[in-house]
Amino acid sequence: MYDCIIIGAGISGCSLAFELSKYSGKVLWLEKNNDVADETTKANSAIIHAGYDPEPNTLMAKYNIWGNKIIPSLCKDLDVPCKNIGSLVVGFSEEDDRTIEMLYKRGVQNGVENQRIIKQPELSVMEPNLNSDCTSALYAPSACIINPWQFAIALSEVAIQNGVELRLNEEVTSIKKDGDIFIVNDTYKAPLVVNCAGVMCDHVTGLIKKPDYKITPNKGEYYLLDKSQGNMVHHVIFQCPTKIGKGVLVAPTVDGNLIVGPTSTNTDADDYSTTSAGLKIIRENAVKSVPNMKLQENIRTFAGLRARSDTKDFIIGEDKDIHNFFLIAGMASPGLSSASAIALDIVRMMQEKDYFLNLKKNYVSTRKVVRFKEMSHEQRKEYIEKHPEYGRIICRCETISEGEILDAIRRSPKPVSLDGIKRRCNAGMGRCQSGFCGPRVQEILANELGVSQLDIVLDKNGSYILCGRTKENGDE
């Protein structure tokens, strides 16, 4: 018997698990994939938005503003890369100027602080590589860039340290109710269930009632450019939304790359493919903002899914029909920016029902990871003398040591895939895209997990890398 079952380990589930873990109470956490942060959380624009975009008086507006205020310090506590660089919505025409004016007013209504409208020549001073045809921009200094999957992983690691029980590879296929108690997958019992199943939220709600909302997975495709392009811009650069589309953004990432995208197309819940049409749209639109950008310096294209609800807003709180069945659903943009605030609010709602009232005496709320790259020469010398495994560099593009990889594997939740390692310590994130370090990481992972290298997957279950050994047919 548990006190609460959380379904889904994306940013919503991770944020909630983290908050609940501070309180006395048994929390079970179910995730269908072999790792946390393996769907929408790993493939998005990696931005903590300022909050001028959502319509006033929506949940999106409320939680975005709130989340934006708390995430930077949370990241500091958890040693997660997050940089407050600010954003610019740039305009090229009178129509755009009107949009910028409207967004500014919305920002004021939503409570965005310190935003202002910027004109030339100040704009060109702030962003020398910006198209000089840009006439004005809405500057929101509170926007941040973040490493979203490391954020989620850090939250999950602390949650687990505090006693949350995470079960990976556990897809929720049935939810029943016996009196006041939910029974999930015919096995797990708890009086509270929280559905944070991302693009599958409506499906999970459908296990216990006819869902009153529909999630449409909406795909966004991206380019990720090499660090040679990382200094192209210094803020998150949005284009003005027009009748034709939302435009594409160009932004530095916390790792020093340049992210360009996204597109927007409705699709299926498991479609993470990029398309030539989508990539073309990005190429054509991106150069409107930053003409000098070298798209040939691309190191990866990828696609992520937005969990868009037909209610056009987040769906947060207790289901109106099912008592004690909570929802964190419809977490399309600004979902990442809002998840931390939503988690706090859900805990408050549970406390109103007399659950999770007592803070643990010695809960953990911070985390620290070793990053070879960030040390000075002297620190490296000293650290390697004590811990030689940090002297062996495995990923040369990102300068990631064996020690960091071992450290990632030895923490919980334990990564079991190459991408799991990549998400935790950046090995394979660089320009060679793991061509060099992939086999080495695979070997380390196999050794640590005590399995054959043949058993190591690239990412999700089934994504095996190798098909067998050479010279193994001798006895046939």
Q: Using CB under 8 A, list all residues that contact another protein.
A: 223-224, 270, 272-276, 278-279, 296, 298-302, 372, 377, 380-381, 384-385, 388-393, 396-397, 399, 401-402, 431-433, 435-436, 438-439, 453-454, 457-475
- What does the block give as tokens for 228? 């040679």
Shortest spacing between CB 36 and another protein, in angstroms: 18
Whether 431 and 399 have beta carbons less than 8 Å apart is answered as: no
Whether 456 and 420 have beta carbons less than 8 Å apart is answered as: no
Q: Which residues contact 463 (CB under 8 A, 6 or more apart)?
A: 417, 457
Length of the chain measured in residues? 476
**DSSP H or E segment with residue 146:** strand 144-146
Which entry of 49, 234, 323, 387 is annotated as an active-site residue?
49
Whether 79 and 154 have beta carbons less than 8 Å apart is answered as: yes
If we measure between CA atoms, which residue out of 77, 4, 10, 1 comes closest to residue 349? Answer: 4
49 an active-site residue? yes
Q: Which residues contact 50 (CB under 8 A, 6 or more apart)?
A: 68, 86, 87, 107, 112, 115, 140, 141, 142, 143
If we measure between CA atoms, which residue out of 388, 255, 260, 312 comes closest to residue 55? Answer: 312
| Cα–Cα–Cα angle for 214, 308, 316, rounded to 5 degrees | 80
Q: Which residues contact 340 (CB under 8 A, 6 or more apart)?
A: 15, 67, 70, 71, 74
Q: Which residues contact 396 (CB under 8 A, 6 or more apart)?
A: 430, 432, 436, 437
Q: Which residues contact 279 (CB under 8 A, 6 or more apart)?
A: 221, 223, 301
Radius of gyration of the CA atoms of the chain, in A: 23
Spatial distance between the Cα atoms of 159 and 345, rounded to a whole number of angstroms: 17
Buried b / exposed e along 273-312 (16+ C-beta atoms within 10 A): ebbeebbebbeebbbbbbeebeeebbbebbbbbbbbbeee
Kindly list the distances between the CA atom of residue 315 and the CA atoms of 4, 195, 269, 356, in Å, as whole numbers in the listed order.
19, 11, 19, 22
**DSSP H or E segment with residue 318:** strand 315-318
| Cα–Cα–Cα angle for 155, 40, 320, rounded to 5 degrees | 80
List beta partners, residue 265.
219
Whichever of 362 and 470 has its CB closer to another protein, that residue is 470
Residues that are catalytic? 49
